[in-house]
Amino acid sequence: MEKINAVITGVGGYVPDYVLTNEELSRMVDTNDEWIMTRIGVKERRILNEEGLGTSYMARKAAKQLIQRTGVNPDEIDAIFVSTTTPDYHFPSTASILCDKLGLKNAFAFDLQAACCGFLYGLELAASLICSGRHKKVILVGADKMSSMVDYSDRATCPIFGDGAAAVLIEATTEDYGIMDSLLRTDGKGLPFLHMKAGGSVCPPSYFTVDHRMHYLYQEGRTVFKYAVSNMSEITSVVAERNGLNKENISWVIPHQANLRIIDAVASRLEVPQEKVMINIQRYGNTSAGTLPLCLWDYEKKLKKGDNLIFTAFGAGFTYGAVYVKWGYDGNKR
């Protein structure tokens, strides 16, 4: 029997219209464009600021564009996963809402919570389902409305994050393209450094939790920074080495867009020049699970069949990993 691979066959994306610039942020907290650009690398970020709209709104727009661009029949979708830390509701899943909005009648659906690493974990999950032979077409969405949990009075976190979503279609193929290798890890020691204190089962919402601003993202930036640089650099190098990838034959590095200094450190460890690194942090900031597919969405037209792509991400937990993808088609699908 021929080996089945899982290959990405299309990309769709969506970012909200509202642009929150560094200038506007400087009027909200004690910060400035120069600090944000040199310490983080974000110029502006998109914010979903219409009342009543959550992550599923952006995820749905991204997935709709994906379906339209690929021409896939929604009845043939076997599964849809939404990687997110900011679901519409605790339950039901954002993915189940998408099933309804997209008219997916034959799919199973759930959300995947692996913070900023959610898209990478989702790629591995989708590839495993497809390579098992039991599933043929899977939609994976990375989507986060980070503005729903960012404290816009905390200058240490509010410049970093933005809202956005992107989706990929992953299909079975017998060609030698697709998700070729992955190395994923979780180091549970990350809890004290990056979390939201209240709203879960340990500390359900109450007047006390609201009064004490416990429903916002909390981060000890310096510690997370160090773990991110060392773990992303290390794990990406391992995946590159064991697949015979090096600065000559890596076509693109696709790093999580958390901080331009982290991106530069990972690229320099691989000795890959900046023109081979997908970077859009300056326009969208850190959209958590959205960053990696949004990079694909932005750079799709430059990609060629056979390109060697290495994705890497790091997030709360801590979660981290690297995935090697041999790209499956030329240029834009639209």
Binding residue (CB under 6 A) for ligand UT7 from 9, 65, 286, 308: 286
Binding residue (CB under 6 A) for ligand UT7 from 193, 225, 297, 320: 225
Q: Are 313 and 266 in contact (CB under 8 A)?
A: no
- Burial of residue 209 (CB within 10 Å: 0-12, 13-18, 19+) is middle
Does residue 217 interact with ligand UT7 by CB under 6 A?
Answer: no
**Minimum distance of ligand UT7 from residue 139's CB (angstroms):** 24
Does residue 14 interact with ligand UT7 by CB under 6 A?
Answer: no
Q: Quick one: 54 or 315, whose CB is closer to ligand UT7?
A: 315
Q: How far is residue 183's CA from residue 108's CA, in Å, rounded to a whole number?
A: 26
Q: Are 143 and 164 in contact (CB under 8 A)?
A: yes
Catalytic residue among 117, 256, 259, 308: 256
Tokens representing 160? 């970093």
**Minimum distance of ligand UT7 from residue 190's CB (angstroms):** 9
Q: How far is residue 190's CA from residue 227's CA, in Å, rounded to a whole number?
A: 9
Q: Quick one: 170 or 232, whose CB is closer to ligand UT7?
A: 232
Residues near ligand UT7 (CB under 6 A), total: 20
**Minimum distance of ligand UT7 from residue 191's CB (angstroms):** 14
- 90 carries an active-site annotation: no
Does residue 224 interact with ligand UT7 by CB under 6 A?
Answer: yes
Neighbours of 249 (CB within 10 A): 11
Does 225 sit behind a cis peptide bond, omega within 30 degrees of 0 on the bond before it? no
Q: How far is residue 141's CA from residue 119's CA, in Å, rounded to a whole number?
A: 7
- 116 carries an active-site annotation: yes
Footprint of ligand UT7 on residues 27-56 (CB under 6 A)?
31, 35, 39-40
Footprint of ligand UT7 on residues 66-125 (CB under 6 A)?
116
Q: Quick one: 6 or 146, whose CB is closer to ligand UT7?
A: 146
Catalytic residue among 99, 116, 117, 295: 116
Binding residue (CB under 6 A) for ligand UT7 from 48, 228, 239, 322: 228
Tell me the residue nearest to ligand UT7 as measured from the CB.
221
Binding residue (CB under 6 A) for ligand UT7 from 221, 230, 237, 333: 221
Q: How far is residue 56's CA from residue 201's CA, in Å, rounded to a whole number?
A: 23
Does residue 216 interact with ligand UT7 by CB under 6 A?
Answer: no
Q: Are 63 and 139 in contact (CB under 8 A)?
A: yes
Q: Quick one: 74 or 221, whose CB is closer to ligand UT7?
A: 221
Q: Quick one: 4 or 37, whose CB is closer to ligand UT7?
A: 37
Residue 161 has phi, psi (to 5 degrees) of -100, 155
Binding residue (CB under 6 A) for ligand UT7 from 259, 287, 308, 312: 259
Q: How far is residue 80's CA from residue 137's CA, in Å, rounded to a whole number?
A: 9
- The residues that bridge with 144 in the sheet, in sequence order, are 164
Amino acid symbol at 84? T
Q: Quick one: 144 or 171, whose CB is closer to ligand UT7?
A: 144
Tokens representing 14? 């969506």
Q: How far is residue 28's CA from residue 61's CA, in Å, rounded to a whole number?
A: 30
Footprint of ligand UT7 on residues 121-160 (CB under 6 A)?
155-156, 159-160
Question: What is 83-119 written as a DSSP string?
Answer: E-SS-SSSSS-HHHHHHHHHT-SS-EEEEE--GGGHH
For the chain, give the number of residues. Answer: 334
**Minimum distance of ligand UT7 from residue 326's CB (angstroms):** 27
Contact footprint for ligand UT7 (CB under 6 A): 31, 35, 39-40, 116, 155-156, 159-160, 221-222, 224-225, 228, 258-259, 262, 286, 314-315
Positions annotated as catalytic residues are 116, 256, 286
